[in-house]
Amino acid sequence: MQASPATAPAEAGGAARGLRARWLEGLERLHVLENRVRWAYTLPEGVSHAPRQLAAAIGQFDGVLSARENPVLRSLVVVFDRTRTSVESLEDQLLSLVAPLPRGAPAVPLHASGLAWLPVGLSLLNLIAGRFLSRQAQLAATAAIAWPIWRQAAADVGRLHLGSHLLEATAVLVSLRQRDLTAANATTFLLLLAEVLEESIGRRSDALLLSLLRPMEGQVWVLREGVEMQMPLAELRGGETVVLTAGAIVPVDGTVLGGQATLNEAAMTGESRPTAKERGDSVLSGTVVEEGRLLVYAEQVGAETAAAKISAFVRDSLASRSAVQLQASRLADRLVPAVFGLAGLTLLFSRSWRRTAAVLQADYCCALKLSMPVAFKAAMARAGSQGVLVKGASALERLAQADTVVFDKTGTLTTGRLEVSDTISFDSAYSPADILNLAASIEEHAVHPVALAVVEAARGQGYRHFEHTQVEFVVAHGVASAIGDQRVVVGSPHFVLEDEGIDPRPHQAAIEPLLAAGKTLLPIGFAGRLIGVVALQDQLRTNSRATVERLRALGARRVLMLSGDRPEVAERMGASCGLDGVHAGLLPADKARIVAELIAAGSRVVFVGDGINDAPALAGASVGIAMSRGAEVARLSADITLLDDDIARVADVKAIANATMARIDANYLATVGINSGILGAAAMGWLSPVRSSLLHNGSTVAILLSALATASGATPGRGDAALDVPVDEDRPAEPVLTRAEPPDQDRPHQDGPEAHSTPGRFVF
């Protein structure tokens, strides 16, 4: 067994340490409260232990009140008396423990080895064949086989806890006292069987969540100075160019620099169809290259990737508890004395130990305490498989209660991606198509959103390339080149019109309507003259209105939009989406203020956003939902994060939350109703102890299976229908750059002349 806490430190250099390896390699504090700490622990190579061994060891430390271990996630939660010990002291004692098993002899988890079924098998054998033994032998065998029940009851007594285990042990003890060995054996068998089944169902719900883990390890190919080389993934840093070929798992979150490929993103977004990726597209870690080849700029690596954050999300979700779970747990604990009281009254009035034993067979604890976490974990696993990360059971509970949904405009109701809406030529020698092609010819060497939108629009209209000299990138302004001996500039109005000294006044009449519509302008200057302008706009998502309608059907009484855009533009978009209200012309602080006002008025608010300025509103809302392409601070502030850039996922997770709480409510009513009926019938003498146990344990397992079913079933119809509304007028006054672009000098250009100056991106 483990070395005692008192002696383990002293044995650091002694014989015990020489014979056994240190039990723990390291500890990482995950969460610390006044008298509670949670660690993640690592084991040295070759050292293992059976479930709950570590918790049992630390439970012997002075000052420890309780300890709970999750050997699958390798986490340990300890409640302690701060007047008797400290976190630092506990860590020192833990790290001083020697391994409980020899190296190379890892323990097999009880459930994995099948040993958990041994007591069940023995109890069944005793139930069937025990009658061939003498009376005294039967009594001894029954008492011995019920050892797991006695042990659990003794643990409850030791913790001064009046729980269901004490009820169960008392029921078996009453049957033994009456020498009703058939009832005692049957009760023991049913209790042990139910416990194994309940643990199995609980592990199944954990396994559903654990299936979302995206382990990343091994080697990765990178491109450095034109040479492909392999390196350990652990050494990869942001800014590297990762080379991916067919069959590779994407190890980073980043942007495609070159190549074409199809990716299977089902593991991360739930999308079953392969997704085509090319230059400018974003990719997520954990997805798989089915065919093709990509060069990817690594923006997020290691613990910052989506795959790594899913792992952290799973770890936190397994330990999270919602308000309804806590209430149900407290109710179950309060009802145990009531069951004991009913058993006492039954004995007092009926003088029947048989009736009393039947009453003690039923309680509310198991179904109430187990079914809710199973339902929540199954629901979170289901959401995760569809590309929605829910950070804990309480987020699902609050989402189901929400009655008001508030959307930020840009990047949520709109795509957050600029698209070309207008191309105007101010020179008769150039058609609008020539203007677009000229802009694309210069911009095709950049990877920022404006450049990508211009190149994509040109290709959609039969792209004709203009020959030009090397491109000069002007940081945060634009690009410049030359055709013949004439200078060409494309970029922000500030760069083209002010820095380059090009006069726009002769064309002001054509420019003003574009500005009034909130469009982003990309002027093109040639030989010192303004020869044209390309207007870009953010697009309303095709399924925005359908998503709003679904949210109303799922219980949202109001759906609102917040925007920093001009009121007339925002209101037109709100009407297109069928919103109940629009708040426009807002500063970042105004969004959080409006959310706070709605909550103060009694609304349960869901806020959906994606920008840095949305973080206060996301944190202040009843439930914050961050879009997949949002800023990092937005995703950290949110309770729910979407991995798929699809607004319909907001309605999907609302549907999952509603279904989960409906399932929990139904299971709660079933638990109370069935067990109250069993208790009443047992007290009246209508049920024997065996029948009472069979009904109670059978109904508990059925309720747990019902809770587990939360993970199955199709999500209600996705609102993917395209809107039949014009969106050209609904444009933001500001451009939208959905992610910070990496420096272009770090990117290999696949075609076209090389830039010879420090590249940058447009900020208009």
Q: Is the distance from CB of 422 to CB of 534 less than 8 angstroms?
A: yes
Question: Please, which residues bridge with residue 526 across strands?
Answer: 488, 529
Q: Is the distance from CB of 302 to CB of 312 less than 8 angstroms?
A: no
Q: Which two tokens stand for residue 14?
A: 């002694």
User: How far, CA to CA in Å, does 136 sit from each of 133, 141, 278, 568?
Assistant: 8, 9, 79, 90
Helices 353-360, 181-210: inter-axial angle, 10-degree rounding: 0
Question: Please, which residues bridge with residue 22 across strands?
Answer: 98
- What is the residue whose two structure tokens read 């979302």? 212
Question: Please, which residues bridge with residue 561 across strands?
Answer: 407, 582
**Which member of 156, 408, 565, 645 is catalytic?**
408
Q: Alpha helix (H) ranges present in 134-258?
A: 135-145, 147-158, 164-177, 181-210
3-state secondary structure at position 562: strand
Q: Which two tokens stand for residue 23?
A: 């039990």
State which amino acid sits at residue 32: V
How many CB atoms are closer than 10 A to CB 122? 17
Q: Count CA atoms within 13 Å of residue 295 on its CB side.
A: 18
3-state secondary structure at position 495: helix
Task: Report the C-alpha gap between 209 and 200 in whole angstroms.
Answer: 15
Rounded (to 5) percent helix, strand, coil in the chain: 50, 20, 35
Q: Print burial letters for 546-568: b (CB count within 10 Å at least 16), e (below 16).
A: bbbbbbbebbbebbbbbbbbbee
Question: Please, which residues bridge with residue 413 across strands?
Answer: none
Q: Count CA atoms within 13 Å of residue 560 on its CB side.
A: 21
Q: Is the distance from CB of 759 to CB of 745 less than 8 angstroms?
A: yes
Q: Say whether 744 is catalytic.
A: no
| CA neighbor of 655 nearest in space, from 721, 720, 715, 710 | 715
* DSSP letter, residue 309: H
What is the β-pairing status of strands 275-277 and 241-245? unpaired
Active site residues: 408
